[in-house]
Amino acid sequence: MEDIYTPPDIERSRKTFYQGLIGVALLILVTLGVGYAAYQFNPYIGCIDLARSVNSRLEFCSTVIEDQTSSALDKKNAHFNRGQIKQNSGDFSGAVKDFSFVIQIDPGRYEGHFFRGKLYSLTKELRKARADLNEAIRIRPAEEKIRIARAMVLIDLKEFSSSLKDLDTAIRMGDRKAKTFLARAFVLFQLGKFKESLSDINKFFSTSKSQDWRAYVLRSAIYRRLKNDANANVDRKKALEITSDKKRVRAYFGELGEADP
């Protein structure tokens, strides 16, 4: 199922607990009535209804955007969601246009810059991605996910010292995800900090259940730099058990500056 972003400024109603069968029945009736009225008078709800088809949601979003009576808030949120639907459907140029409209309508919010920056990173327009993520961080400096997104772009730009700062900041903020430790292990390796890199990649393995052959290749390369050939060979064999594609393993060793034995 697609992960559709719901902007934080959409008013959310609180659920109320009703005891007894009469209360439950009344709640169902009210919900059905309100839902029907909402679909009748606010097409934006159809824009975020995941039960509908992609084309149906795109149509609802476009209706809201083109309707002169739609509120500015609904138009902005419709652009948000239409942009994500287009991105998930592979229409990257269309998604960029929608996220650009969001920025135009409300430049003071970070979300437009964040989503467009992530999209630019997917299309490898890295300098545009960095510019958008810089702006998103300026607006929302304490948001971990923006730091992580910019760190990934900086890795692609081979700006490893700057990437390390973002990863360090995200981890201090509380991001303890396995993939964050893996990214920092890679960056530390590139900076020649092999003991610190080994510590982080071991944290990755202790917190992740995924069988990532690249992680084993990376740790094998780290062990080699630390003159631990026995463990390096163990991890290389583990990588080959997972992928069995020697060319891919050899190529990744090459990217890490290591010759595959």
Across 78-90, average pLDDT: 90
At residue 207, φ and ψ (nearest 5 deg) are -115, -5
In the block, tokens 């559709």 appear at 4
Give 107-175's CATH code, choosing from 3.40.50.1360, 3.20.20.190, 3.90.1150.10, 1.25.40.10: 1.25.40.10
> Alpha helices, DSSP H only, in the chain?
20-41, 44-47, 54-66, 72-88, 92-105, 111-122, 126-139, 144-156, 160-173, 178-190, 194-207, 213-225, 229-243, 246-255
Most confident option among 40-49, 58-67, 182-191: 182-191
Residue predicted with more confidence, 128 or 89: 128
- Identify which has the larger pLDDT, 54 or 115: 115
Residue 127 has pLDDT above 70, yes or no: yes
The CA-to-CA distance between both ends of the chain, in Å, stands at: 42
Whole-prediction pTM value? 0.78
Q: Is the per-residue pLDDT at 9 higher than 60?
A: no
Residue 141: phi, psi to the nearest 5?
-70, -20
**How confident is the model at residue 40, as a pLDDT?**
37
Q: Please compute the mean of the pLDDT values over residues 53-75 and round it to a whole number.
A: 86
**Please, is 47 exposed, middle or buried when counting C-beta atoms within 10 Å of its C-beta (0-12, 13-18, 19+)?**
buried
Confidence of residue 6 (pLDDT cuts 50, 70, 90): low
Listed as own residue / partner, the contacts of 107-111 with beta carbons closer than 8 Å and 24 or more positions apart are: 108/139, 109/139, 110/135, 110/136, 110/137, 110/139, 110/140, 110/143, 110/146, 111/5, 111/7, 111/80, 111/136
Domain spans in the chain, listed from the N-terminal domain onward: 1-9+17-105, 107-175, 198-261
Q: In this predicted model, what pLDDT tens digit does every residue of 131-177 receive, in sequence order?
A: 999 999 999 999 999 999 999 999 999 999 999 999 999 999 988 89
Local structure of residue 10 (DSSP, 8 states): S
